[in-house]
Structure 1
């Protein structure tokens, strides 16, 4: 158990949990920055979490649901108030209703996570600030202390697992629910450069091509919320033309954007793509959460080999755009 102390100060309305880990600070930080990793320990044993959004930046937000052994669901959110990469972050932590909205009937709290090196690895100090004594007592009666310490007891196994989250792994997909899929990959380059490669037509035409033998004759980028984008591909020499179009719904350069996407010439509801870029050890963690109209559409798209095509493009991005000549 990595937790070394738990202190409650009823006068200051705080609870402080200290935990020590035998890994460098950057490894512990990445476990909290990467949604694939944090969801392996954030829920207490028997209540695994699924993060449908994890945007570790000032003004960013995380959204997650913990699922109990009998299918019970408990949702929560973080609003990031301050972030000092590799050293600390501060969030407003609260509960959500079944539809994902903040639950006004339950208290929210402010939590500060401080990461520091030690002689044997790293230390995480988590300090929770409660709005009132009554809300402190309410949350403790709900098992907050036990849940937090139990969750931290699962961190050791995650930070020791270097193979599952190595920077040289190919793109991989994870189903998040009935209609969502998350595609993740570490791109070996800085966040701004990866963002630019997704938003400059001349760069997009060099790497976002899928398998060899294709070109992108049409590349129209949406630059402001409400703008439309349009990308079209065709085989070298002509033929096989297809493309996608959509609207930019949200944009927070250089870390996050949300767009709709529909294949040109098709009808029906569009998919929604949420792209998040997060700095991690080894480069930039690219996370793409796609929400489809229904399960059948999601499964049909995945069956086309979408993720393999994305991996081919990401490998080309690293080799031909991000690697200095």
Structure 2
């Protein structure tokens, strides 16, 4: 995670974020000055940003909306006050509606971003300046510190070539906090096909099987928000184990980029929120699954079942059976 420090200064009315990055200053600048790259890490996991306007000139505006997993939206707008590529830029940042009109009931702030070269790459310092202590405290109470750390945790994947970042690492599990987990797996294949493999019952039955010796006995896909899905598996032959299944509801579908579903084991009350995101670069697709658990104990219990190993077996089968043909 690149964030090295987040400091709130109630005397000077500032919040400062410092991050040490393993990339040259020009590469870091490119990530902050290209909306398609910036939106990959500006919103925290589960709240990806989409920039709908981008005029990267002094006096120009940028509008963005962060989209929550249950259809929530939070929008903002920037006015560029100063740009000194690749060393710094400054914006006036405000909460806004989806058209970019600032919300007068929520605090705005002046933000500076500075970039300097280091022996390991580059250091980014982002300082937000507030008009009052009340405004600073309101932003902190809204989760700005935690949200910033989580958002910046996505930056490493943006700064590196996708294959350099993830190829050969298999299924990676990261504990983001007590109830949020990020699971990533790079697969060699286009995003459109990976999306179909997650949403076409005939394709799902060919790869989503977990360890060898199991078969999928039921596959009902939710194709619209509000619909329910159900997947069931059973052991084959002498394989030990009992049949089981998962079911849930589709909360968001944004083909071929993102889908959000609830998930619970059939017959059990515990429910998770599964946020699937697909990103393609040069013919490879990074699968990112954010999981929200009800509590730390449930998180640890489920991860201890060997879930990641079963996912890796399935993803390897996906590449072998569907993406390599």
TM-score class normalised by the smaller sequence:
0.5 to 0.7
Which residue of 2 is the match for residue 21 of structure 1? Answer: 26
Contact 2:227–2:249 (CA<8 Å) still a contact in 1? yes
CA distance in 1, matches of 2:193, 2:86: 31
Contact 1:201–1:221 (CA<8 Å) still a contact in 2? yes
CA distance in 1, matches of 2:291, 2:273: 6
Which residue of 2 is the match for residue 45 of structure 1? Answer: none
1:179-190 → structure 2 map (5 Å cutoff): 179-190=179-190
Which residue of 1 is the match for residue 256 of structure 2? Answer: 254
CA distance in 2, matches of 1:217, 1:265: 17
* CA RMSD between the two structures: 4.2
Which residue of 1 is the match for residue 6 of structure 2? Answer: none
CA distance in 2, matches of 1:22, 1:269: 43
Using the TM superposition, give the Cα deviation of residue 128 of structure 1 relative to its aligned residue in structure 2, in angstroms: 4.8
Q: Unaligned 5+ residue runs, structure 2?
A: 1-23, 55-61, 67-71, 95-100, 125-154
Which residue of 1 is the match for residue 298 of structure 2? Answer: 297
Is 2:44 aligned against 1:51? yes
Deviation readout 1:81-133 (Å, 9 max, x if unpaired): 169xxxxxx65279xxxxx9859xxxx42379xxxxxxxxx98997857689x
Contact 2:93–2:109 (CA<8 Å) still a contact in 1? no
Contact 1:215–1:233 (CA<8 Å) still a contact in 2? yes
Which residue of 2 is the match for residue 109 of structure 1? Answer: 77
CA distance in 2, matches of 1:275, 1:241: 25
Distance 1:168 1:263, change over 3 A: same
Is 2:201 aligned against 1:229? no
Distance 1:170 1:225, change over 3 A: same
Q: Unaligned 5+ residue runs, structure 1?
A: 1-18, 43-49, 54-60, 63-77, 84-89, 95-99, 113-121
Using the TM superposition, give the Cα deviation of residue 164 of structure 1 relative to its aligned residue in structure 2, in angstroms: 6.9
SS of 1:177 mapped into structure 2? coil
Deviation readout 1:50-99 (Å, 9 max, x if unpaired): 9323xxxxxxx52xxxxxxxxxxxxxxx443169xxxxxx65279xxxxx
SS of 1:170 mapped into structure 2? coil
Using the TM superposition, give the Cα deviation of residue 34 of structure 1 relative to its aligned residue in structure 2, in angstroms: 9.4
Give 1:139's match in structure 2, choosing from 109, 113, 123: 109
TM-score by length of 2: 0.60
Using the TM superposition, give the Cα deviation of residue 281 of structure 1 relative to its aligned residue in structure 2, in angstroms: 4.1
Distance 1:102 1:202, change over 3 A: closer
Contact 2:215–2:234 (CA<8 Å) still a contact in 1? yes
Give 1:149's match in structure 2, choosing from 110, 114, 135: 114
Deviation readout 1:230-283 (Å, 9 max, x if unpaired): 1111111386211101111111111111111110121x2411111111123451
Distance 1:279 1:162, change over 3 A: closer
Distance 1:210 1:124, change over 3 A: farther
TM-score by length of 1: 0.60
Which residue of 2 is the match for residue 86 of structure 1? Answer: none
CA distance in 2, matches of 1:30, 1:130: 16
CA distance in 2, matches of 1:126, 1:93: 21
Using the TM superposition, give the Cα deviation of residue 167 of structure 1 relative to its aligned residue in structure 2, in angstroms: 2.3
Using the TM superposition, give the Cα deviation of residue 20 of structure 1 relative to its aligned residue in structure 2, in angstroms: 5.3
CA distance in 2, matches of 1:139, 1:109: 11
